[in-house]
């Protein structure tokens, strides 16, 4: 379940949609990366990196504005679920929204990790809106160096 | 604040933002996960409000099984008009979200006019 993006649709301005499309296409030719909207709709679910190295699997997830206490992390064997809520601001009288590319609300993401992870050895930290989870690999799958004496 | 070379063009990501007006203030929220307070640089050049955030994430060694996050620094430029008071701009960084509060100049703020009774 991912929250849908808020988008202002102005019925009185049918050309607005074209302008936005033109905007997005222009963005493609910019030196900058295109903005994260429209054609590059990535922001609706939290983005995740998963890195594997010799000893552990590292999961990095961008969660700006999410409090540590609103986050629920579970692991069942090798399936990890990140669940939480990104609290937005209650809309009050007299507010005018000019632009909104961000989203708020509940989110959930389930990721299958390699079988080699050890769900008992897990370490999660949250810093500057980035969640980092380190899960150790099981002992038996780690590469082991055996020194062989050559006579 | 780190020094940012504004003339150098580098690969940057445009962060997601939200702009709203409330109580005669303009509030800009920019999502910059991975940027700490010290890696931010906010400058005003004439009518441009430029925000740079460099990501000091530790580079993780290993092979990527999944790679969705943007890498690179954040850059966002807003144009502000002459009604914004340049001298009272507040910035607050929390949990990867930068919140900038812009105030209107005194002369454009609504003013109550007293009615004298004769």
Q: How far is B28 from chain A (nearest CA, A)?
A: 9
Give the Cα separation of B115 and B118 in Å (integer). Answer: 9
Give the Cα separation of B105 and B86 in Å (integer). Answer: 8
Among B19, B67, B97, whose Cβ lies nearest the Cβ of A64? Answer: B97
Residue B75 Cα to chain centre, angstroms = 9
**Both A38 and A108 in a single domain?**
no
Identify the CATH number of the domain in which residue A59 sits: 2.60.40.790
**Both A66 and A127 in a single domain?**
yes
**Both A37 and A70 in a single domain?**
no
Question: Could you give the C-alpha distances from B55 to B5, B18, B77, in angstroms and in order?
Answer: 15, 20, 17
pLDDT tens for each residue of A19-28? 777 877 776 6
- Decide if A94 is inside a domain: no
**Both A132 and A58 in a single domain?**
yes
Number of domains in chain A: 2
**Both A116 and A81 in a single domain?**
yes
What is the mean pLDDT of the segment spanning A62-74? Answer: 89
Give the Cα separation of B49 and B79 in Å (integer). Answer: 6
**Domains defined along chain B, listed by start:** 14-56+70-107 (2.60.40.790)
From chain A, pick out residues whose CB is under 8 angstroms from the CB of B64. Answer: 49-52
| Owning domain of residue A35 | 12-42
**Both A63 and A109 in a single domain?**
yes
**Both A63 and A132 in a single domain?**
yes
* ipTM given for this complex: 0.76
From chain A, pick out residues whose CB is under 8 angstroms from the CB of B18. Answer: 97, 99-102
pLDDT tens for each residue of B7-30? 455 677 888 898 988 888 899 999
Whose CA is closest to A132, among B66, B67, B55, B34?
A: B34
């Amino acid at each position: 379940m991912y929250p849908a993006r808020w988008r202002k649709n102005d019925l009185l301005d049918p050309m607005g949609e074209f302008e936005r499309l033109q905007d997005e296409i222009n963005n493609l030719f910019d030196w900058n990366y295109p903005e994260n909207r429209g054609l590059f709709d990535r922001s609706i679910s939290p983005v995740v990196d998963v890195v594997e190295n010799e000893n552990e699997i590292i999961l990095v997830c961008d969660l700006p504005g999410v409090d540590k206490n609103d986050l629920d992390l579970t692991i069942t064997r090798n399936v990890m679920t990140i669940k939480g809520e990104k609290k937005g601001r209650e809309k009050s009288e007299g507010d005018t929204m000019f632009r909104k590319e961000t989203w708020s609300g509940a989110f959930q993401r389930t990721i299958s990790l390699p079988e080699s992870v050890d769900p008992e050895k897990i370490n999660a930290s949250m810093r500057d809106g980035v969640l980092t989870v380190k899960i150790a690999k099981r002992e038996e799958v780690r590469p082991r160096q055996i020194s062989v004496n050559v006579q | 604040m780190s020094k940012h070379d504004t003339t150098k063009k580098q690969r940057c990501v445009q962060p997601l933002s939200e702009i709203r007006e409330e109580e005669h203030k303009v509030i800009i929220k920019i999502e910059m996960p991975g940027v700490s307070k010290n890696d931010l640089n906010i400058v005003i050049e004439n009518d441009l409000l430029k925000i740079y955030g460099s990501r000091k994430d530790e580079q993780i060694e290993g092979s990527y099984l999944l790679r969705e996050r943007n890498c690179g620094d954040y850059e966002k430029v807003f144009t502000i008009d002459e009604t914004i008071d340049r001298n009272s701009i507040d910035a607050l960084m929390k949990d990867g979200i930068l919140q900038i509060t812009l105030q209107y100049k005194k002369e454009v703020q609504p003013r109550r006019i007293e009615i004298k009774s004769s």
